[in-house]
Every structure is written in structure tokens, then in C-alpha cells.
Amino acid sequence: MTRIIESRRRFLRQSAAGGVSLLLGMHAGGAIAAAAGTDTPAQSSGDFAPNAFIRIGQDGRATLISKQPEIGQGIKTSLPMIIAEELDVDWQDVRVVQGDLNPVYGSQGAGGSTSTPTNYDNFHKLGATARAVLVQAASQAWNVPASECTTDKGSVEHKASNRKLGYGALVKVAATLPVPDIKTVALKDPSAYRLLGTRIGGVDNAQVVSGKPLFGIDVKLPGMLYATYVKCPTLGGRPVKANLAAIKAMPGVKDAFLVEGTANLNGLRPGVAIVANSTWNALRARRKLQVEWDEGEGANHSWAGFTAQAQALSKQPGAAVMRKDGDVAAALAGAAHTVEATYSYPFISHASMEPQNCTAWFKPDGTLELWAPTQNPGAGQALAASTFNIPKENITLHITRSGGGFGRRLSSDFIVDAAAIAQKVKAPVKLTWTREDDMQHDHFRAGGFHFLRGGVDAQGKLSAWHNHFVTFANLVERKESDGTSGSVLQPGSGGSLSGDEFPGRWAANCLLEQTPIECRIPMGPWRAPGSNVFAWVFHSFIDELAHAAGRDPVEFRLEMLGDKDIVPGTGERGQSYNVGRMRNVLKAVAEKSGWGQRKFARGQGAGVAFHFSHRGYVAEVAEVTVSKEGKLTVDRVVVVTDIGAQIVNLSGAENQVEGSVIDGLSTLMGPALDIDKGRIVQSNFHEYPLLRMPDTPSRIETHFLKTDYPVTGLGEPVFPPLAPAVCNAIFAATGKRVRELPLSKADLSWS
């Protein structure tokens, strides 16, 4: 399937029209509706509710629970679509309600592109189970075998007698019937799907574009107070004292106090809380706040210092060996051509549009109620329970829609920040981070340095691969199985090199080493953790080796992949790699892009890359134009993905591919965080540039290979190959290699 974006104006018109059309049958439910005084539809005695996810009323309408957090990935629409398909109900008769954190729903996290693969099969069975009971109710009413009955858009039919009953007319009887074992129900043949694979607009589209309250930042409660929380500008520091009396005397301020915090860098960090009768008054008081800080060891951190430290560590022995095959030194010595290069990338922020926020209410009975835009509500509940020493059962967490996540909201620090403030003031409190808070106190994507050496033999084949990775790690306390505890260095999320990473399992002579730099910088998952930078490093260096060998980059990669269908996992991740699937997407992207079929003028070029991450196989070709002055234009990106046997929502899938390409290009181009004296230098978007609409690719072409493999997610796999494809295209256009991110640091001019 292919989609090309050529007119953004037309795209916006179509998106808006799709949002309006989906307004029918949809409503705002869950925490926001409750906070606004609008309850979600209550179940009446005549409703049919065969499980926790489905309720059908006597009007024939189905209310479906979406249990996973919606962070813009479209899961609030696509998961209910799976149920609706098997239930055989008309989508216009479906209401979707966001489920709050509840053990009955099972796992409720949204990260790692896991929401679809972990729920796909079970959601089919949930819908099929409800359909089976409705069919049984009709068969009893007509006194005919259930096998003679079929369903169609919310009705049961008996074609032999030309009889038909809508689901609404059957719910009373269905509610009295036993629910069959979910393992025994018959599922639809995929050839009969009428909803899955079609384009369905997001169920929240109309509310989003019209500014209705959906997000965590929109929550309002009676008697609610508003808070801001100030942390030490130096990462890892803590407040000693502050002018609290002066702050408390300011208009609208209800309280101001120090919060001790914990030693957990990703938990409740020390700071100063200001609580007021409005966010404006809280922020106005913040501008008058004067704090004496204990900056701690983090004050010694700087990016320049880290860079020098990495260079020194790359030459020192003692690195941890992540993989060792063959004899790299001998292979390099005997290589026909060798290449040596250093690749580096900075710490970056998640920069989600909605800054971190949470509304918390510690009630007199000792219970805690939370409203949070979180990707990981279970972890948020657990962190609050451990931080405040209360049972998890005493914590209610309402999941609001998130204005972007990208992994940031897998952390729960903002939740315990709000809870700590609410515990002190004994009232419902909404904490809203400023943009500066969000950028300077993020759980950052770790920076890194890769010191690479590679060789190709006289036949132009890869003969040696050596990567010494210098990464960043925090010192954390860890309890052992025998009850003892100790401190260990733990690399940041995505900051550990697996021996399974391509081309580790494919190179006969391979050495992968890793050395950590200890730091006090909090780090967390960032879209496609690890893969988002490893793909850029590996496929850029592979391209260097291909050109050193005088080989076509696609041909060189196909040869590297080899002819084994499966390469088993051996490292810490242990994932088997389906080489056949990757070969197919690589061949398909070469075909769809017309690879090698046109001759580019100087200043124009094409680049290719692929990557396997989060169960998805993706290959991309980027075509670029670079002016003599060095201005880059990405003209075209062709994407081929293999994410299994079924695209759930074609509109959502295309959105994820296109969004990943644009996000990948944005991340490649400009964002970088400098660190000086333990502080993040950048404070807001004027110093942290993201891609603007005129700079997005002119054409994004999306192709899905439908295969017989299990359905997987799509929020992350497309992101990693974009950066190397563009950088390889830049080399083809200019002869210049990009080995340091962001791209804005590079001089791409040519003559």
C-alpha cells in the first residue's frame, strides 16, 4: 500500500473532515469527563456486558474500553477496532471510553510498540466471544441452530427464514446466557474483515481540533490548587534554603515549602514547591524565588569534559566485551581496505508538546487519587506507593490523553512530584511543569561515542568490525537475591550495546566493547531506545565500508545479511532475527524507490538504510538535494515495512510512518543539549530547534508488506533508519560524511 504526501493543505483538510465524521457515536469519557462533571454511560440492568471491555445497550450501541494510554499513536482507536471487527458491529455505533488503571484490564503500559502485539489476539477473542453469545440469544429466540445464524453490522440474521434481529433487541436475553470459554470461540477469517485495514479517523479527532478537555493539563476539580516545582539547575542538586516567607506573602500564594526528595534520579527529586490559587500566580511567585542550592557532584559535568573523557577511554584497556568472534586485529591487518571513524551524538530532550503535569489529591482517609498523562500508569502507581509508603490498592489513577510521549511518560517523576505537594497541602493540586522544567529536567536520551574500525577483503566483502562504545551510566543501588545491596553502574535506557545488534551476529571477525562514563544525569527511554542512534552509527559506517570496497550500498547490505532465514539471538536481548524478512523489505525499497535507475546531478543523491527494532523490519531510501552553500532539502523518502499479517487501521499506520520520518529528520537536523557546570544550557524551543513544516520531505511514500507473521506495533520501528538513509544520501550528493549529530553542526557546502 502506498501513500504520498504532496499537499499538506489538502492533507489537513482531509484530516479535519475525518475528525468531524467520527464525531458521531463518540464522546469524551474517563477522567476528563468525570472532572468536568460528565459521567461515562452507566450500565443499566438490561445491558449486555460479557467482559470488562464490552458493553452493549438496548439501543444497539457498543461501548468499548480502550485500556492503553493514548499518546498520539492512535491506540485508542485501533484496539477497539479489533474488538468491533470480531463483534461485527457498525463502527458508527461504537463509543470508545478510556479505561483508568484497573487490574481487570491487564497490562496498561504504552511503550516499545507493544500495545498492538500484546493485545491483538486477545481482543479478537473478546469480540468473538460477545458475538457468539448474541448469536446464541438469536438462535434461542428463533429456535434454530446457532450454526445457521450469521452476523452483519450489529445484527444477527437467519437467512433461511429471512429473519433479522439487531443486537439491541438481543441484549436482555444475552445477558442471561453463559459466556463461552474465550479459548474456544471461532474467529473471523481475515478475508472477511470489513473494518480492519481500512482508514478510520482517531476517535478523539473532533475534540482535539476543537480544543475540548482531553489532556492531563485540562483537568479541573472543585477546590483545586495549582503548583509549580523548582529543582536545582544543576542535575542532581538539592535546595538548602529559600525565601519562603516572602513567597508565601505574595498574592494568591497558598503555601511554599522545600521537598526533601529521594536518592532515585528517576523518582521524587528534591526541590521547592509553590502552591497558589492559579497557575499564573504560582509562576509569578516563582520568578521571585531565591534558593540556595547544594549542587553536588553533578556540578562537574560538561559536554566538553565528557567528550575529552570519551576520547581518553577509547584508548584505554579494560572495556567490557559485549561480543567477540574471530580475530579482528588479524582481519584488519589483512584487509584490502580499512576504515576508521568516530561517531558521536548528544543528550537530547523528549520535547513533547504537552509539558509534564499531574493532578493529585491526598484524601483524609489516606487514599490518593491521581489524574496523569502517563505511558506507564502501573509504574506510576507503584512509584507513588513506595515513595509515600501506602498500599497500591489505596491509589486510584485516571489515565488522561497525553500530548506526546516518545518514552518520556514511561517515567513517573512528575506523578510523585504532584503527590508530594498534595500530601502537604491537603487539597487537590495540579502541578504543571514549565517548558524550561520539561527541557532541563527531562529523563534524557543518553549521548554516546562510537569508535569504529572496519575492513573489507579483496572481494569487497566485510572482513572485520570493531566498535568501542563509550556510553553514560548512573550509579544506582541494587538489592541482591541474598538480601544484600550495593551500588552498580547502570547505563541509561538505550545506552547499552547488545551483542545481537546488526552486524554483530553477521561479521566473522567482530569485537564489540563498551565503557561507561558515570554521571548524575537522569536518563530514560527515548523513541526506539538504542535503535534511534545505533541505526545511524551502524548504517552510516556500513555505507563507508561499501564505498571503500567500491560496492553498491544495497548489494553490499544484501551480501552482509547472507542467505540464512533466521539468525538466532545470543546476547542480552536474545531476539531472533528473520533475515528473510529484512532481505525482502530491502529489496522492496530498492524496487519502489527505483534504486540505481537514475543518474543524479552533483548535489543530489540517494541513501539507504534498514533496521530491525521493536519486532518491525523496515528499510528506507532517502533522496536529497544539497545546494553549493550547504542547504539540505529532503526530496523524497520511501519506506517499506513488514509488521506482520494485518494493518489494523490504515490511516493510523500511515500516520505513524509519516510521523516517524518527520520526527527522525527533525531529530537528525537540530536538537542537541549542551551541558555546562552540570546544567542543561538550552531552556526552550528558541535554543532547541525542531523541524518546521517547510523543511519536511516533499514526498513520503509508504509501503506495507503483508506477511504471515504476527501483527506488531509501528510507533518506533520506522524511526531508526531515517537518519542514516539521509546522511548516506548527503554523502552521495556531496562526498561529505556526517559523523556528529545534530546535522546543523556540519558544513555541507561543496564546490
Least confident of 254-263, 572-581, 630-639: 572-581
Q: Are residues 138 and 249 in the same domain?
A: no
In whole angstroms, what is the distance from residue 530 CA to residue 613 CA?
9
- The residue with cell 481500512 is 198
476: CB partners within 8 A, 6+ apart: 265, 487, 488, 489, 490
Q: What tens digit of pLDDT does each residue of 510-560 get?
A: 999 999 999 999 999 999 999 999 999 999 999 999 999 999 999 999 999
In this structure, are residues 442 and 349 in contact, taking their beta carbons and an 8 Å threshold? Answer: yes
pLDDT band at 16 (very low <50, low <70, confident <90, very high): very low
Q: Residue 280: exposed, middle, or buried by beta-carbon count in 10 A (0-12, 13-18, 19+)?
A: exposed
Per-residue pLDDT at 482:
75
Q: Answer yes or no: do 128 and 277 share one domain.
A: no
Judge contact between 51 and 65, C-beta under 8 A: no
Amino acid at 417: D
- CA 527 to CA 405: how far, in whole Å? 9
Q: What residues pair up with 607 in beta bridges, in sequence order?
A: 622
Per-residue pLDDT at 570: 59
C-alpha cell, 204: 478523539
- pLDDT category at 481 given cuts 50, 70, 90 is confident
**pLDDT averaged over the chain?**
92
Detail the DSSP E strand segments found in 417-461. Answer: 429-432, 448-456
In Å, how far are 201, 368, 421 from 672, measured between CA atoms?
34, 38, 32
Print the domain residue range for 677. Answer: 303-348+444-745
3-class DSSP assignment, residue 43: coil
How close are the terminal C-alpha atoms of the chain, in Å?
40
297-355: pLDDT as tens digits: 999 999 999 999 999 999 999 999 999 999 999 999 999 999 999 999 999 999 999 99
- Contact residues for 225 (Cβ-Cβ < 8 A; gap 6+): 254, 275, 276, 277, 425, 427, 428, 429, 430
CB 498, CB 571: distance < 8 Å = yes
**What confidence tier does 478 reach under pLDDT thresholds 50, 70, 90?**
confident
CA distance 6 to 11: 8
Q: What is the pLDDT of residue 45?
A: 62
Average pLDDT over residues 73-80: 98
Lowest-pLDDT range, 7-16, 36-45, 61-70, 290-299?
7-16
State the pLDDT at residue 4: 42
| CATH number, position 57 | 3.30.365.10
| DSSP conformation letters of 585-628 | HHHHHHHHHTTTSSPPPTTEEEEEEEEEETTEEEEEEEEEEE-T
Compute the distance between CA of residue 415 and CA of residue 427 in angstroms, rounded to an integer: 15
Let me know whether 121 and 227 are in one domain: no
Q: What is the mean pLDDT of residues 370-387?
A: 98
Residue 81 binned pLDDT confidence (cut-offs 50, 70, 90): very high
Same domain, 133 and 257: no
For residue 23, is pLDDT > 50? no
Q: Are residues 177 and 277 in the same domain?
A: no
* Judgement on whether residues 589 and 703 belong to the same structural domain of the protein: yes
- pLDDT tens-digit profile of 681-702? 999 999 999 999 999 999 999 9
At 98 the three-state DSSP class reads strand
**Per-residue pLDDT at 2 exceeds 90:** no
Tell me: do 548 and 658 sit in the same domain: yes
**pLDDT tens column, 237-248:** 999 999 999 999
Any residues with CB less than 8 A from the CB of 666 and at least 6 apart, and which?
690, 691
Q: Are 71 and 350 in contact (CB under 8 A)?
A: no
Whole-angstrom distance, CA of residue 440 vs CA of residue 676: 12
Identify the domain boundary among 164, 185, 209: 209
Residue 574: which pLDDT band, with cuts at 50, 70 and 90?
Answer: low
Domain membership of residue 549 (yes or no) is yes
Query: DSSP letter at 293?
Result: E
Band the pLDDT of 34: cuts 50, 70, 90.
very low
C-alpha cell, 24: 458521531
pLDDT value of position 573: 54
The answer to whether 59 and 92 are in contact (CB under 8 A) is no
* Total structural domains within the chain: 3
In a domain, 3, yes or no: no
**Per-residue pLDDT at 615:** 93
| pLDDT at residue 46, as a whole number | 80
Residue 461 counted as domain residue: yes
**Residue 52 in this model has a pLDDT that exceeds 50:** yes
Short-list 375, 350, 372, CA closest to 361: 372
Residue 160 belongs to some domain of the structure: yes
Confidence of residue 251 (pLDDT cuts 50, 70, 90): very high
Q: What percentage of the chain carries pLDDT values higher than 70?
A: 93
**Quick check: is 126 in a domain?**
yes
Listed residue (180, 218, 231) closest to 51, CA to CA: 180
Q: Of the residues 368, 402, 432, which one is the last residue of a structural domain?
A: 432
Which helix (H) or strand (E) segment holds residue 653: the answer is helix 650-669
Q: Are residues 373 and 428 in the same domain?
A: yes
Residue 12, all three cell numbers: 489537513
Tell me, what's the pLDDT at 681? 98
Has residue 130 got a pLDDT over 70? yes
Q: Pick from 358, 352, 355: which is nearest to 431 by CA?
A: 358
**Torsion angle, CA of 189/194/196/199, rounded to 10 degrees?**
160
Is pLDDT above 70 for 78? yes
Who has greater pLDDT, 445 or 43?
Answer: 445
Average pLDDT, stretch 403-431?
97
pLDDT at residue 477, rounded to an integer: 85
**Cell reading at 152:** 452483519
The residues near 112 (Cβ < 8 Å, ≥ 6 apart) are 525, 614, 713, 716
Q: Are residues 560 and 469 in the same domain?
A: yes
**Looking at residue 417, what DSSP letter applies?**
H
Whether the CB-CB separation of 229 and 273 falls below 8 Å is answered with: yes
DSSP letter string, 162-216: TEEEEHHHHHHHHTTSPPPPTTTPPPPPGGG-SSTTS----TTHHHHHTT-S-BG
Q: Is 422 helix (H, G, I), strand (E, B) or coil?
A: helix
Q: In the prediction, which pLDDT does 182 show?
A: 86
- Contact indicator for 608, 546 with CB cutoff of 8 Å: no
Q: Model's pTM, two decimal places?
A: 0.93
Q: Is residue 1 part of a domain?
A: no
- Give domain status of residue 214, yes or no: no
Q: Estimate to the nearest angstrom the gap between the alpha carbon of 472 and the chain centroid.
A: 21
| Rounded Cα–Cα distance for residues 304 and 730 (Å) | 27
Residue 483 confidence class, pLDDT cut points 50, 70, 90? confident
Check whether residue 178 and residue 266 sit in a common domain.
Answer: no
Q: What number is the average pLDDT over the span 151-161?
A: 97
Q: Is the residue at 741 inside a domain?
A: yes
| H or E, element range at 371 | strand 368-372
Average pLDDT over residues 698-710: 96
Contact assessment for residue 736 and residue 341, using Cβ atoms and an 8 Å cutoff? no
H helix or E strand, kind and range, residue 510: strand 510-518
Q: How many CB atoms lie within 10 A of CB 173?
A: 17
Which domain-ending residue is among 384, 399, 432?
432
Domain check: are 142 and 270 in the same one? no
If you write DSSP's letter for every residue of 116-160 in order, what string do you get?
HHHHHHHHHHHHHHHHHHHHHHHHHHHTS-GGG-EE-SSEEEETT
- 469 shares its domain with 528: yes
